[in-house]
Structure 1
């Protein structure tokens, strides 16, 4: 077993800034698309810029899009998120559709670092000081010393009438007051 997980960032799984509670805020702050105007490996990026970039920009007005031509370099896209994280993707020899899928993936991510060691699978901002609830939380302490199976604990302990019994009584009373004969 390796200990490489010890060098990862550690944290709790949580939505950034309680995102989605109330309203959704896209976490992608800016995306930079870098390409070469005449290099063959940037062909897919050039096609994406010509055909799909304007639609993406109109659909996502909260995201700033930078287009940066560079000579004799491969196509690259870099994304910056509201929490300060940055992601970089090499787009060498990618098609227009592949670049569109990567841009959509970057748009929908929360910007968390790629690999995070989770300390727990759940997290709460306000932990309870009473402890975790169990089925035995509100049981009488005498139930701890009873030998099981027990006739005493197996019986249905109903002090009041059930809701069904109360509804049947109300129904019968209503029928009797209206002069009809009860069917039970």
Structure 2
């Protein structure tokens, strides 16, 4: 009996069935001589190997940048990139910044005008003190 492959391919919906992390690469830049890179150098030698082992789906690059402050850059699936300066930070704080970049979606930050958005408008309409019967005090 011959083996048949699946004829239809399911549509990819992030979070349903499988989760695809939006961050694809993290670049760590540092300076060997600058004092602002002291925490980054400790992070690279002590914490980064464990971070990279826990997150094998993220490509980790380490590159020197002489004469510049240390920076972490995150590259995302949608083509955007975000950078966070880690000047004079401790290794634990740098780990928090790396986690922020790892968990981000890569989208621009959007200002929300209303805390709740809905596809359907309210049946009652918008309340206003200027509508309805006026009562004098």
Query: SS at the partner of 1:30?
Result: strand
**Which residue of structure 2 aligns with residue 45 of structure 1?**
40
Deviation at 1:122, TM superposition (A): 4.8
**Which residue of structure 2 aligns with residue 90 of structure 1?**
85
Deviation at 1:18, TM superposition (A): 2.9
Alignment of 1:144-163 (within 5 A): none
Q: Which runs of 5+ in 1 are unaligned?
A: 1-16, 124-130, 135-184
| Deviation >2 Å, runs of 4+ | 117-123
TM-score w.r.t. the length of structure 1 is 0.54
* Structural RMSD (CA): 2.2
**Which residue of structure 2 aligns with residue 121 of structure 1?**
117
The answer to whether the aligner puts 1:68 opposite 2:57 as a matched pair is no
Query: SS at the partner of 2:98?
Result: helix
**Which residue of structure 1 aligns with residue 23 of structure 2?**
28
Alignment of 1:132-143 (within 5 A): none
Aligned residues: 109
**Which residue of structure 2 aligns with residue 79 of structure 1?**
74
Deviation at 1:95, TM superposition (A): 0.8
